[in-house]
Structure 1
Amino acid sequence: MTTTAPVQAPVKEPFDFARWWDRVGILAVLVVLVAFMAFFAPNFATVDNLLNIARSISMNAIIAAGMTFVILTAGIDLSVGSTVAVSGVVGVLVALGGAPAPIAVLAAILAGAIAGAVNGTLVAYLSLAPFIVTLGMMTLLRGLAYTMTGGLPIVDNTLSFRDVGNGYIAGVPTPVIVMLVVYVLAWFVLERTRYGRHVYAVGGNPEAARLAGINVKRVLTSVYVIAGALAGLAGVIFAAMVVSAQPNAGQGYELDAIAAVVLGGTSLFGGKGRIIGTLLGSVILGVLTTGLILMNVPFFTQLLIKGIVIILAVAIDSLKNRATKAKAAVQAAPAEGAP
């Protein structure tokens, strides 16, 4: 006589919030926000306004792209706003010295990369906390920007690289083109190269990455260099837009960049996230800011709303991390009744 084993009913998996948010959550938020602003904000859906939004988000999006590399390694860079100021000052001073536009632009980007290299070296090789290191560098670089300019803007109405911030390519603002190029390159590096896999590995588990033969310290240093260089590029765009070196440029940009990265699904705990999500997060912040301005919302109220958005972004990241840990715990638990 043969016995048939009872058929076990399929177990319904619990709702995976982290996976849902990464796949459709951020895009759904963007669609709802755009629809809301198109309905309530005057002239929001016009072509000129959409191009202005794209131009306005370009700098924050470029900075956020570099911040994504850093946060993927469970780090943070609070100095990017000050790096924007210093790089812009360097670019304008080099241009005023008679250097061609490409040299001035490269000098500004190099200045940002050097600032990032200092951050990365202190974090990777001296094991200092990224928050403290970059907080100190934020103050240092801001002071450097004021020192280099004497505390006053340096205006150059004939700035050689002004088209980087004010020009157009095929009817599209140049900063938008630069932003798209940055994201294509960042996507390729993170998704299609061995270096990108190393970045994710270091963020996920640095000790396991080290045992796998990855030079963790070099990877950590490099992501801060990338963040600094892209902040330097944003500094070039800012200086080109206002045709001047502004020592107070970039104030608060680090918070917007972090918010864009976290809104886009990159975890503050490292090892998880996608660069395309960062771009969507930047677009959300840009649409929100422009829409509020068109709706004549007072500036201080805009700050309140932006602060709420940043808190929500961090809360969502925490919820995602909890959901991921809970799912991993359930999968790791032995099946009920197993010997």
Structure 2
Amino acid sequence: MANDASPGSGTATVPDTGTTGFEERHTESPLQRIQHVLHANPILGPLAVLVLAIIVFSIVSGRFLSATNLGLVLAQVTVIAVLALGQTLIILTAGIDLSAGAIAVFSSILMANIATDLGVPGVLALIIGLVLGTAMGAINGLLVTRLKLPPFIVTLGTLSIFFSLNSVVSQSETVRGTDMPSIMTWTGNTFGIGGFRITYGSIIMLLLFAVFWYALSNTAWGRHVYATGDDIEAARLAGIRTGHVLFSVYTVAGLLYAIGAWILMGRLASASPNVGVEYNLDSITAVVLGGTSLFGGRGLVLGTLVGALIVGVFRNGLQLGGVDVVWQGCAIGLLVLIAVSIDQWIRKVKA
């Protein structure tokens, strides 16, 4: 509305114009523009961190960019990346899984003992182990959806149960790779690409990420996963069977953990009940560093892959730089705190 002035009053007429979207965009500070960009493209932040880390550690150590070392980094992050993929599905629904490492280790022990103690052929023992790992994930899903228990409490309980059963079944003894059928440790075999040595487990990991990138981006199931995590009540009112979505997510995560168990046996050339204590934290760390929100509804599986690589690059680079293991853990913890703080900041973006 214009401010009217009487003739000859000497007062100029000033039109009352609204602020256009173009003008609003230009009044944003550089920090606000970065906030908008990161909100629209959550993978950019993790990619920037990964590239910066590679540059820094290549300067710190001349061995960092060698083909041998880069192949080692990829092999080291493969198991955590697969576990983090399953963890991503659950965190996208605003849940969390503290039993990821326990399911993976217990599945590896079951596979190995079924093959060695019961004399079951390797392929069949592997399939049974994958089914049992999937069933463990389904148990988590049932407790969350049927009894309406918080995911944190459910998976904290099953963490203790599966680790205890792991000790009972294994009798705290490691099954050597030489005693198992070769299919059990096949994922640890390598092949050459140029100067790189890549494990078959790493190829399986990359294929899994490609499959779930497509599933979450281009299927109704993927859209329902995001909708459930963003606002479960709104998703239910929109006709999405949120209980089925949650159950499917925990069940699929169990299958991924079991596949991670197979890759773990190849990585260690054995099935050990004494590993995996840090796998839960590492998988959550990879998801958080990859830009997936702990509050659900936002994130990309490719970001999780980048997050797992960040963890691997930092640990490898700090080790090559002669940094003590204790301080390596501090550095990873600091990264997590920074990532969560940035996530909180990004979520406050104004549309």
Name the TM-score, length of structure 2 as normaliser: 0.87
Deviations 1:172-226 (A, max 9, x none): 3111101100100110110010000000010011111111111111111111112
Alignment of 1:157-196 (within 5 A): 157-160=178-181, 161=183, 162-168=185-191, 172-196=198-222
Which of 170, 175, 183 in structure 2 is aligned with 1:154? 175
* Matched residue type, 2:108: G
The CA deviation string for residues 117-155 of structure 1, in whole angstroms up to 9 with x for no partner, is 111111111110111110111111111111101122122
Q: Which runs of 4+ in 1 moved over 4 A?
A: 3-9
Aligned length: 324
Q: Which structure 1 residue ranges, 5 or more long, are not aligned? A: 329-339
Match of 1:20 in 2: 38
- 2:113·2:170 contact (CA, 8 Å) conserved in 1? no
The answer to whether the Cα contact below 8 Å between 2:137 and 2:253 also exists between their aligned partners in 1 is yes
User: CA offsets, 1:229-271, max 9 Å, x none?
Assistant: 1111111111222232211221111111111111111111111
Change (3 A) 1:314 1:261: same
Q: Is residue 231 of structure 1 aligned with residue 252 of structure 2?
A: no
Q: Check conservation: 1:63, 1:231, Cα contact below 8 A.
A: yes
Task: Determine the C-alpha separation between the residues in 1 that align with 2:109 and 2:36.
Answer: 42
Stretch moving more, 300-309 or 51-60: 300-309
Superposition deviation, residue 169 in structure 1: 7.2
**Structure 1 residues 164 and 99: alpha-carbon distance in aligned structure 2, compared to 1, 3 A threshold:** farther
The one of 313, 327, 338 equivalent to 1:287 is 313
SS in 2 for 1:157: helix
What secondary structure, in the 3-state scheme, does the structure 1 residue paired with 2:178 have?
A: coil
CA–CA distance in 2 between the matches of 1:252 and 1:78? Answer: 11
Root-mean-square deviation over aligned CA pairs:
2.0
For 2:149, what is the secondary structure of its paired residue? coil
**Paired residues of 1:159 and 1:240 also in contact (CA < 8 A):** no
Aligned equivalent of 2:8: none
Where does residue 333 of structure 1 map in the other structure?
none
**C-alpha distance in structure 2 between counterparts of 1:314 and 1:228, whole Å:** 25
Tell me the SS of whatever aligns to 2:322: coil
Other-structure match for 1:64: 84
- 1:1-339 pair list within 5 angstroms: 5=15, 7-8=17-18, 10-11=23-24, 12-13=27-28, 15-16=32-33, 17=35, 19-20=37-38, 22-96=42-116, 97-160=118-181, 161=183, 162-168=185-191, 172-321=198-347, 323-324=348-349, 327-328=350-351
SS at 2:132's partner residue? helix
Q: What SS is found at the alignment partner of 1:236?
A: helix
Percent of aligned pairs with the same amino acid: 37
2: CA distance between counterparts of 1:34 and 1:231?
28
When Rg is computed on C-alpha atoms for both structures, the one with the higher figure is 2
**Alpha carbons 2:43, 2:300 under 8 Å: kept:** no
- How far is 1:111 from its partner? 2.0
Structure 2 unaligned segments of length 5 or more: list them. 1-12
Distance 1:242 1:172, change over 3 A: closer
* Larger mean Cα displacement after TM superposition, 49-58 or 308-317: 308-317
Q: Deviations over 1:5-64 (max 9, x none)?
A: 555551234515264261522111111100011110241100011111111111111111
Amino acid at match of 2:129: A
Q: 1:18 to 1:149 in 2, by over 3 A?
A: farther
